[in-house]
Amino acid sequence: MTSPLHPIHRPCSLILLALACAGAALAATATAAPAKATNKARAAAHAKAAKAAKPKAAPAKVDYAGEQVNFRAWQAVADFETEMAAKHGFDADALKVLMAQVNYIDAAVQLVKPAPPGKPKNWQAYRERFVEPVRIEAGVAFWNQNAAALARAEQQYGVPAEVIVGIIGVETVYGRNTGRFRVMDVLTTLAFAYPETPNRAARMAFFRGELENTLLLARASAIDPLSLIGSFAGAVGLPQFMPGSIRAYGVDFDGDGQIDLRNSATDAIGSVANFLVQHGWQAGHSGPLAYPATVSPGRAWESFIGQGLAAKFSGAELAAAGALSDAALPADRLFGLIDLQNGAEATEYYLATDNFFAITQYNRSYFYAMSVVELGRAVRIARSVQG
């Protein structure tokens, strides 16, 4: 799979050349700064190690039948093209040629629709999908192959290796499942044909922004935008970053002058750590990310549920409301009370820290964040047992 920030080693297409001509002088992206001259030797060593430890990802391929739709006949798409030419200096004729090749993907529309109502949430069932033998074994191998990069990320960013390993494992099984959709297809579909939902306007605006970022990313990287393959929502690479996140948070952690989230495990590791720090990770906070809690029959604690994805309350406030942990809570920290529902079984409660909530900025779900925590822990334990 070609990296979103890694040049294709073949002649560029006519479309790509035309798209790039107006902005070639500004093509370098700020997040892909080359290694300093004084660090060339270290950067070369990192790049060499990264190439030796690349994950064995399945080759990406498009295996769906898109519907040929004349997106160019849609006024909103024409307006988008005009804006890209005026705002970013793209060649208008080249954009017309490009957009004429984009397909409508009904599968993306169906996959972003809300789940049908009535099905109870079940944390334990969700957990079983991610904290399971295949991911744990693959996680041990990934950690062993990338131990130096993980240790360096932990030292530089303060994010434990097991958290980074947990995220990449949950997202793509360490590069095995990175997506099968052309990013241009799904982002165009969702930007201009999002299904009827209460938040439709906001979601269309989001995907329109990501379509803009895809074109900017491709131009800065000198790659054909139609070559980018990702998830049904347009996420790319081992850590499944959206194009905007690649531009904002991607890191050239192997020092080879390119940000390559598809083929460089080292870049993926550094980028995940950087994303978390930029979204509230507190490097100086050690200890559990979430403390198991019990709740009292009085139910005063219920007002602390659903108070957003942030730690806002002291341990004393939560204890006074009847949400208690047997562990000794750090006195200088804030917490949030989270509930992990288990269908007909008892709900599990935790006092979550700032760092737990930083993971929810990657995916806005308590279930997701806790699965990252538990998969990372399981991989760490399995790796220590194997010696």
Residues noted as catalytic: 171
Q: Tokens 């001259």: give the residue.
A: 37
**At a CB cut-off of 8 Å and minimum separation 6, what does 258 contact?**
3, 5, 6, 7, 32, 221, 252, 264, 267
- Copy the structure tokens of residue 222: 């000198």
CA distance 116 to 242: 26
Which tokens go with 316? 């004393």
Phi-psi region of 287 (alpha: psi -120 to 50; beta: other; left: phi over 0): left
Residues near 168 by beta carbon (within 8 Å), at least 6 away in sequence: 142, 174, 175, 238, 239, 268, 269, 272
Tell me how far apart the alpha carbons of residues 345 and 340 are, in angstroms, rounded to a whole number.
11
Report the 10 Å Cβ neighbour count for 182.
Answer: 23
349, 366 contact by CB (below 8 A) = no
